[in-house]
Structure 1
Amino acid sequence: MSVRYSAAIGRTVDIGPIGGEASMKPRKMRNWMMLALESNHVIGLRLAKLMRGGKGARREAELMVSEKIQAAAKAGASLMAGATSDEIVRQYRKRVAANAKRLARQKRRRRKRKSS
Protein backbone atom coordinates (compact mmCIF):
# COMPACT_ATOMS: atom_id res chain seq x y z
CA MET A 1 0.00 0.00 0.00
CA SER A 2 1.45 3.29 -1.08
CA VAL A 3 0.54 6.75 0.12
CA ARG A 4 -0.06 9.50 -2.39
CA TYR A 5 0.46 13.10 -1.40
CA SER A 6 -1.25 15.86 -3.34
CA ALA A 7 1.06 18.84 -3.24
CA ALA A 8 -0.17 22.42 -3.17
CA ILE A 9 1.19 22.91 -6.69
CA GLY A 10 -1.33 20.44 -8.06
CA ARG A 11 0.95 17.46 -8.56
CA THR A 12 0.45 14.10 -6.91
CA VAL A 13 3.60 12.51 -5.55
CA ASP A 14 3.96 8.88 -4.53
CA ILE A 15 5.83 8.86 -1.21
CA GLY A 16 5.92 5.09 -0.81
CA PRO A 17 4.75 2.74 1.94
CA ILE A 18 3.78 4.03 5.36
CA GLY A 19 6.56 3.59 7.92
CA GLY A 20 8.38 1.02 5.79
CA GLU A 21 5.82 -1.67 6.53
CA ALA A 22 2.71 -1.30 4.43
CA SER A 23 0.61 -3.92 6.16
CA MET A 24 1.14 -3.95 9.91
CA LYS A 25 -0.89 -6.70 11.51
CA PRO A 26 -3.25 -5.68 14.33
CA ARG A 27 -1.24 -7.66 16.91
CA LYS A 28 2.00 -5.97 15.91
CA MET A 29 0.33 -2.57 16.01
CA ARG A 30 -1.07 -3.38 19.46
CA ASN A 31 2.45 -4.15 20.75
CA TRP A 32 3.72 -0.81 19.46
CA MET A 33 0.77 1.06 20.98
CA MET A 34 1.13 -0.70 24.34
CA LEU A 35 4.86 0.08 24.38
CA ALA A 36 4.04 3.76 23.88
CA LEU A 37 1.45 3.77 26.68
CA GLU A 38 3.56 1.80 29.14
CA SER A 39 6.63 3.92 28.40
CA ASN A 40 4.62 7.06 29.03
CA HIS A 41 3.63 5.72 32.45
CA VAL A 42 7.25 4.94 33.35
CA ILE A 43 8.34 8.39 32.17
CA GLY A 44 5.81 9.93 34.56
CA LEU A 45 6.99 7.80 37.47
CA ARG A 46 10.62 8.65 36.73
CA LEU A 47 9.92 12.37 36.42
CA ALA A 48 8.21 12.33 39.80
CA LYS A 49 11.24 10.63 41.33
CA LEU A 50 13.68 13.00 39.64
CA MET A 51 11.72 16.05 40.81
CA ARG A 52 12.01 14.90 44.43
CA GLY A 53 15.79 15.15 44.07
CA GLY A 54 18.37 13.67 46.39
CA LYS A 55 20.39 10.49 46.17
CA GLY A 56 17.44 8.48 44.87
CA ALA A 57 17.00 10.83 41.94
CA ARG A 58 20.68 10.68 41.10
CA ARG A 59 20.66 6.86 41.21
CA GLU A 60 17.54 6.79 39.04
CA ALA A 61 19.13 9.09 36.44
CA GLU A 62 22.25 6.93 36.30
CA LEU A 63 20.17 3.75 36.10
CA MET A 64 18.00 5.23 33.36
CA VAL A 65 20.99 6.08 31.16
CA SER A 66 22.73 2.73 31.68
CA GLU A 67 19.49 0.82 30.99
CA LYS A 68 18.95 2.72 27.76
CA ILE A 69 22.47 1.90 26.56
CA GLN A 70 22.06 -1.78 27.49
CA ALA A 71 18.63 -1.99 25.83
CA ALA A 72 19.90 -0.37 22.62
CA ALA A 73 22.88 -2.73 22.50
CA LYS A 74 20.64 -5.74 23.05
CA ALA A 75 18.20 -4.56 20.37
CA GLY A 76 21.05 -4.03 17.91
CA ALA A 77 22.48 -7.47 18.59
CA SER A 78 19.03 -9.02 18.22
CA LEU A 79 18.48 -7.26 14.90
CA MET A 80 21.83 -8.47 13.61
CA ALA A 81 20.87 -11.99 14.67
CA GLY A 82 17.69 -11.72 12.60
CA ALA A 83 15.06 -10.72 15.15
CA THR A 84 11.85 -9.15 13.89
CA SER A 85 10.66 -5.71 14.94
CA ASP A 86 7.91 -7.39 16.97
CA GLU A 87 10.50 -9.35 18.97
CA ILE A 88 12.45 -6.16 19.65
CA VAL A 89 9.29 -4.40 20.86
CA ARG A 90 8.56 -7.35 23.16
CA GLN A 91 12.05 -7.04 24.65
CA TYR A 92 11.48 -3.34 25.31
CA ARG A 93 8.04 -3.99 26.79
CA LYS A 94 9.54 -6.47 29.29
CA ARG A 95 12.10 -3.88 30.33
CA VAL A 96 9.46 -1.15 30.63
CA ALA A 97 7.19 -3.41 32.70
CA ALA A 98 10.04 -4.20 35.10
CA ASN A 99 10.77 -0.48 35.50
CA ALA A 100 7.09 0.32 36.09
CA LYS A 101 6.88 -2.37 38.77
CA ARG A 102 10.06 -1.17 40.49
CA LEU A 103 9.10 2.52 40.41
CA ALA A 104 5.52 1.87 41.57
CA ARG A 105 6.81 -0.28 44.45
CA GLN A 106 9.11 2.54 45.57
CA LYS A 107 6.24 5.01 45.39
CA ARG A 108 4.09 2.78 47.65
CA ARG A 109 6.93 2.42 50.16
CA ARG A 110 7.32 6.18 50.29
CA ARG A 111 3.59 6.65 51.01
CA LYS A 112 3.69 4.07 53.82
CA ARG A 113 6.66 5.81 55.45
CA LYS A 114 4.86 9.16 55.39
CA SER A 115 1.73 7.77 57.03
CA SER A 116 3.68 6.01 59.82
Structure 2
Amino acid sequence: MDRESPLEALGIGFRLWQLGVEASIVIGLRSWKIASGGSGAGAEASRMVSEKWLALVDANTRLLTGSYGSSPHSVADALLRLYGGKVRANRRRLTRR
Protein backbone atom coordinates (compact mmCIF):
# COMPACT_ATOMS: atom_id res chain seq x y z
CA MET A 1 0.00 0.00 0.00
CA ASP A 2 1.41 3.38 -1.00
CA ARG A 3 1.55 6.16 1.53
CA GLU A 4 -0.49 9.16 0.60
CA SER A 5 1.13 12.55 0.46
CA PRO A 6 0.37 15.16 3.12
CA LEU A 7 -1.36 17.24 0.44
CA GLU A 8 -3.74 14.39 -0.36
CA ALA A 9 -4.58 14.03 3.32
CA LEU A 10 -5.07 17.78 3.58
CA GLY A 11 -7.41 17.69 0.58
CA ILE A 12 -9.48 14.90 2.14
CA GLY A 13 -9.58 16.82 5.41
CA PHE A 14 -10.78 19.98 3.69
CA ARG A 15 -13.49 18.10 1.78
CA LEU A 16 -14.57 16.45 5.02
CA TRP A 17 -14.80 19.88 6.67
CA GLN A 18 -16.88 21.16 3.71
CA LEU A 19 -19.21 18.17 4.03
CA GLY A 20 -19.62 18.86 7.74
CA VAL A 21 -20.55 22.50 7.10
CA GLU A 22 -22.99 21.59 4.36
CA ALA A 23 -24.51 18.78 6.46
CA SER A 24 -25.03 21.27 9.31
CA ILE A 25 -26.95 23.52 6.93
CA VAL A 26 -29.12 20.61 5.80
CA ILE A 27 -29.78 19.62 9.42
CA GLY A 28 -30.97 23.15 10.14
CA LEU A 29 -33.17 23.26 7.04
CA ARG A 30 -34.70 19.88 7.80
CA SER A 31 -35.25 20.77 11.44
CA TRP A 32 -37.01 23.97 10.40
CA LYS A 33 -39.23 22.10 7.94
CA ILE A 34 -40.15 19.41 10.46
CA ALA A 35 -40.71 21.93 13.29
CA SER A 36 -42.99 24.06 11.13
CA GLY A 37 -45.40 21.12 10.87
CA GLY A 38 -47.93 20.50 8.18
CA SER A 39 -48.06 17.72 5.64
CA GLY A 40 -44.46 18.30 4.56
CA ALA A 41 -43.09 17.69 8.06
CA GLY A 42 -44.00 14.02 8.24
CA ALA A 43 -42.87 13.42 4.67
CA GLU A 44 -39.52 15.08 5.39
CA ALA A 45 -38.95 13.04 8.55
CA SER A 46 -39.79 9.83 6.73
CA ARG A 47 -37.57 10.78 3.79
CA MET A 48 -34.69 11.61 6.12
CA VAL A 49 -34.79 8.22 7.84
CA SER A 50 -35.11 6.22 4.61
CA GLU A 51 -32.30 8.19 2.90
CA LYS A 52 -29.96 7.54 5.81
CA TRP A 53 -30.66 3.80 5.78
CA LEU A 54 -30.26 3.54 2.02
CA ALA A 55 -26.97 5.48 2.10
CA LEU A 56 -25.67 3.26 4.90
CA VAL A 57 -26.57 0.06 3.05
CA ASP A 58 -25.08 1.40 -0.20
CA ALA A 59 -21.82 2.46 1.45
CA ASN A 60 -21.43 -0.81 3.36
CA THR A 61 -22.18 -2.91 0.29
CA ARG A 62 -19.55 -1.06 -1.72
CA LEU A 63 -17.03 -1.29 1.11
CA LEU A 64 -17.56 -5.03 1.51
CA THR A 65 -17.29 -5.71 -2.22
CA GLY A 66 -14.13 -3.62 -2.55
CA SER A 67 -15.57 -1.34 -5.21
CA TYR A 68 -14.06 1.69 -3.44
CA GLY A 69 -10.53 0.36 -3.86
CA SER A 70 -8.08 -0.64 -1.18
CA SER A 71 -6.19 2.53 -0.34
CA PRO A 72 -7.42 4.76 2.47
CA HIS A 73 -7.40 7.71 0.05
CA SER A 74 -9.59 5.99 -2.54
CA VAL A 75 -12.08 4.82 0.10
CA ALA A 76 -12.27 8.27 1.71
CA ASP A 77 -12.64 9.92 -1.70
CA ALA A 78 -15.44 7.56 -2.74
CA LEU A 79 -17.33 7.96 0.54
CA LEU A 80 -17.02 11.74 0.38
CA ARG A 81 -18.41 11.69 -3.16
CA LEU A 82 -21.30 9.43 -2.12
CA TYR A 83 -22.36 11.37 0.96
CA GLY A 84 -21.40 14.76 -0.46
CA GLY A 85 -23.68 14.24 -3.44
CA LYS A 86 -26.58 13.27 -1.22
CA VAL A 87 -26.08 16.22 1.13
CA ARG A 88 -25.79 18.70 -1.79
CA ALA A 89 -28.95 17.31 -3.37
CA ASN A 90 -30.85 17.76 -0.11
CA ARG A 91 -29.56 21.32 0.33
CA ARG A 92 -30.68 22.23 -3.20
CA ARG A 93 -34.08 20.59 -2.69
CA LEU A 94 -34.67 22.27 0.67
CA THR A 95 -33.67 25.75 -0.50
CA ARG A 96 -35.73 25.65 -3.71
CA ARG A 97 -38.87 27.73 -3.78
The answer as to whether partners of 1:31 and 1:90 remain within 8 angstroms in 2 is no
The answer as to whether partners of 1:50 and 1:58 remain within 8 angstroms in 2 is yes
Moved over 3 A (4+): none
Q: Alpha-carbon deviations, 1:35-59, whole Å to 9, x = none?
A: 1011000001001101110110000
Unaligned runs of 5+ in 2: 1-5, 69-74
Q: Alpha-carbon deviations, 1:64-101, whole Å to 9, x = none?
A: 00000000011101211221122112100000000000
Question: How far, CA to CA, are the matches of 2:13 and 2:41 in structure 1?
Answer: 34
- Percent of matched pairs sharing the same residue: 39
Kindly report which structure 2 residues correspond to 1:1-116, keeping only aligned pairs within 5 A, or say none. Answer: 25-82=9-66, 83=68, 84-105=75-96, 109=97
Unaligned runs of 5+ in 1: 1-22, 110-116
Question: What is the TM-score when the length of structure 1 is the normalising length?
Answer: 0.68
User: Structure 1 or 2: larger strand share?
Assistant: 1
Across the aligned residues of Structure 1 and Structure 2, the Cα RMSD in angstroms comes to 1.3
Q: Number of aligned residue pairs: give it.
A: 84
Higher RCO (CA-CA < 8 Å; seq separation 6+):
2
Question: What is the TM-score when the length of structure 2 is the normalising length?
Answer: 0.81
Q: Please identify the structure whose Cα radius of gyration is greater.
A: 1
User: Structure 1 or 2: larger helix share?
Assistant: 2
Instruction: After superposing the two structures, state which structure 1 stretch, 75-84 or 91-100, moved more.
Output: 75-84
Question: How far, CA to CA, are the matches of 1:40 and 1:58 in structure 2?
Answer: 20
